[in-house]
Structure 1
């Protein structure tokens, strides 16, 4: 078996993607199972020494997070690789269970379950944002469902708020269906871009599909920029404030999206759940989104003028309906 850093023994591969692969590993020093994420050779080759150092700094930022809904980051290192630069790797908490993506592959969730999961994801983001850390890749595959609640994975590619990409000319980090539209315009990752991902996640839980369905990533980026999300199917019993929050998270203007703290508290209240949020960092001033909700209510609780199927309209020009995830 391959061993990294003289300490982390790679047991077997448990996941992979275009940017990295994840291994179940064993920490030989502390005698515990871990998850080891190794940068893919194609990605590592584009970073250079500066990029590796940036990833190291990001891993240090993510390692500061201690939250029940965050899979912790334990270590960072580089491992010699034949014929190329040392390959960076990140050692994380190994979380057992099934991902939210695996559950959603079977269809949409009961709204109460979906809202509870998203409340816990929002709580994890609130803790990260309080530490000036953004996740950059909120999606169902990065949410693990465990007996003790949801765990947000992959904070190992998190970044400091406003930090540039390691390779400005390279691809945007993240999964297109969950990436905020401003990220494709070259804007850095911010808490608001994470909130767009949360909105897409909540929408997916409620509808069983992503907010925009298109034939390609190019069409998806265009749809996010110019079209409203597709209407949600009717969800009996869904509180209107949850529906309102979902679509506000998907606003094109980042300033119009709610904070993770507000989202966590609202979603948790909707299902009578408890979440851990950094209350000490609450600003006594009314946030812009809260003021916007007061001035421009999207949904009236007692109004019959709108229902889920009339929530948002979109231009008459429709793209073919194929999910782009």
Structure 2
């Protein structure tokens, strides 16, 4: 869906920051981009090598004009454009839906009512163009986006005014051969009737999965378009007669868009009702991925000459997502029961002048003897207090927080990339894409709560006081931050000086703070903690735009899963988890899309909205959370890794090869790139994520494993007193 940026892609154009590549062709590149307001757009640009050609610039300007003509109902709304810029660009609405060809590949040909509704709405779109004397000239499945409100026509790269042939070379056939009109195939004038011909080809494809003139070499396709009868095999009989007329070789014999719309007449007011449920689900998933997209930039090509060494500047984006484990992000990580967490994410340049130690990163120091398969290992110092995993660090390297503070490690060798950023304990640190939030100790006992934020680009702290809360209370806990909101636990009252310092006269609250205004959005009271408690209020936290998902230890040592409205803090639902020891599920929260997967009991998926069970696998004993990607990956006793459909819970495959019988049931698997990694005693097994075939195993130790999607890519292990990195196999 998204591709990483190359090293020479623009960082921003106009008011838009470039996030990822959506596609590239002969004329230019289309990017996913965001404005400071959060608006996400498709940003189309022209290649620099042709931007100097006045004819191509004119064509780009005409494309902008045509996109504006079709309007926001039938096309993608144009927000801004600058055809005169050094790199001409246009920012349009990012359409939340798949192109028609992807939709057919995913869910198969559409039922007849859906094809008729699609055709009627596309007739309205073309009529909007034709009424302004504009013809599209390249209508094809990949240029039609399916949304729940109806189709949208995009890509007007060769659209032009009717009768204007100044940008078409004599005899040239501009367009896509499989969906061209006969007149377009011979380089003649393409009128509105040519768009009707192409529309009939698109509807044939929608109904059957194939075009009316098949596939093959361009010359063969152009011949069939001009001389062969269309292949309407598989088109419903009543619809075939309508499309056959549209595919007449003579433009005069084809209906107008108004006539065609009348022949297709159907209810178009509820387009989504005509679409398969699987396609609607896929549309929702694509929308979710857009809002979570983050910037990744490839390194420049390596110059092998000694005079021009290069340094990686940004990450490659792996195809597969990571499991969601706490912290409100697909890359959040935690060490189960170890009292330490790490942020994992791509690095953004090894030497940025911020290395507190100065000079080159220091070499890694091993806590124990490294295994032969290990790249590096560093010691960590962790207290016994259970803590909450944070969101990831998406720039600069691997960030590690333990009793010695927060520091950034170089993923290549484990050396210190940036020295201590904060002395706050690990459970009072959390980070978003580029900013670290910590609780800073007040200057006096029982002083105000101070939350300090530091941008990782300049490391300048910005403290904010909250006088209603006691910053000396060790039970203060930062949970996670997402989309400009920081979630935390803060208390009122005095500190006892014993352990975490809970007292019966203290009052504790769950808070949400706007990180832009530093104002408290809401607060919700929490139950008092026993004075002897050695654990914090929460074992895990994960936030979305609507839900705050929590694993909470009750005062009697039980654990419950609860979901709150992230905008108000109001409790939506909660239910107990059948665990004998809270440490067993600490750092084990798995959330993906609209579901949460409890870390205890049978493998099941609960709806975030109401807590009702969406499905229950319920076969054999399973502990630890699953890894959720295109599939749900879990470890089952006696079987090893299994893959389930995330929507139905149906089994897709069981691990093959006979190596899963001794799989560790406590350590959750990770899904990374094309593989699933699962722990066995002294080993990390690698399984093909698409087939379940065992690939290989290598020596590895650790209590939890995570994937680092940066440069270089690593599997990172966290143990009770060490962090280690293994190469991607």
> What residue is the counterpart of 2:95 in the other structure?
95
1:199-214 matched pairs, under 5 angstroms: 199-214=200-215
Give the 3-state SS of the residue equivalent to 1:66 in structure 2: helix
| TM-score, scaled relative to structure 1 | 0.71
**Contact 2:168/2:174 (8 A) holds in 1:** no
Distance 1:40 1:169 in 2: 24
1:186-225 matched pairs, under 5 angstroms: 186-225=187-226
> What residue is the counterpart of 1:300 in the other structure?
none
Distance 1:61 1:217 in 2: 27
Distance 1:110 1:52 in 2: 41
Distance 2:24 2:171 in 1: 19
What do the CA deviations read for 1:247-267 (whole angstroms, capped 9, x no partner)? 111111112111122222332
The alpha-carbon deviation at position 229 of structure 1 amounts to 0.8
1:244 aligns to 2:241 (yes or no): yes
**Contact 1:73/1:155 (8 A) holds in 2:** no
Distance 2:94 2:217 in 1: 33
Q: 1:169 to 1:90 in 2, by over 3 A?
A: farther
Q: 1:189 to 1:41 in 2, by over 3 A?
A: farther
> What residue is the counterpart of 1:20 in the other structure?
28
**Contact 1:58/1:160 (8 A) holds in 2:** no
RMSD: 2.6
Give the 3-state SS of the residue equivalent to 2:164 in structure 1: coil
The alpha-carbon deviation at position 228 of structure 1 amounts to 0.6
**Contact 1:138/1:197 (8 A) holds in 2:** yes
**Contact 1:63/1:74 (8 A) holds in 2:** no
Distance 2:204 2:84 in 1: 40
**Contact 1:73/1:156 (8 A) holds in 2:** no
Distance 1:131 1:234 in 2: 32
The alpha-carbon deviation at position 201 of structure 1 amounts to 0.5
Q: 1:150 to 1:116 in 2, by over 3 A?
A: same
> What residue is the counterpart of 1:273 in the other structure?
268
Q: 1:48 to 1:167 in 2, by over 3 A?
A: farther
**Contact 1:58/1:157 (8 A) holds in 2:** yes
Among residues 42, 65, 82, which one is paired with 1:35 in the alignment?
42
From the two aligned structures, give the one with the greater strand fraction.
Answer: 2
Distance 2:235 2:246 in 1: 19
The alpha-carbon deviation at position 199 of structure 1 amounts to 0.6
Higher relative contact order (CA 8 A, sep 6+): 1
Q: Quick check: 149-158 or 245-254, which moved more?
A: 149-158
**Runs of 5+ consecutive residues of structure 1 not aligned to the other structure:** 81-85, 276-325
Distance 1:26 1:65 in 2: 23
The alpha-carbon deviation at position 214 of structure 1 amounts to 4.4
What do the CA deviations read for 1:260-311 (whole angstroms, capped 9, x no partner)? 22222332x2x33349xxxxxxxxxxxxxxxxxxxxxxxxxxxxxxxxxxxx
**Runs of 5+ consecutive residues of structure 2 not aligned to the other structure:** 1-9, 271-729
From the two aligned structures, give the one with the greater helix fraction.
Answer: 1
Give the 3-state SS of the residue equivalent to 1:155 in structure 2: coil
Distance 1:38 1:163 in 2: 24
> What residue is the counterpart of 2:133 in the other structure?
132
> What residue is the counterpart of 2:75 in the other structure?
70
Distance 1:156 1:222 in 2: 24
The alpha-carbon deviation at position 8 of structure 1 amounts to 2.6
> What residue is the counterpart of 1:321 in the other structure?
none
Give the 3-state SS of the residue equivalent to 2:206 in structure 1: helix
**Number of equivalences:** 260
Distance 1:128 1:234 in 2: 27
Give the 3-state SS of the residue equivalent to 2:233 in structure 1: coil
| TM-score, scaled relative to structure 2 | 0.33
Give the 3-state SS of the residue equivalent to 2:109 in structure 1: coil
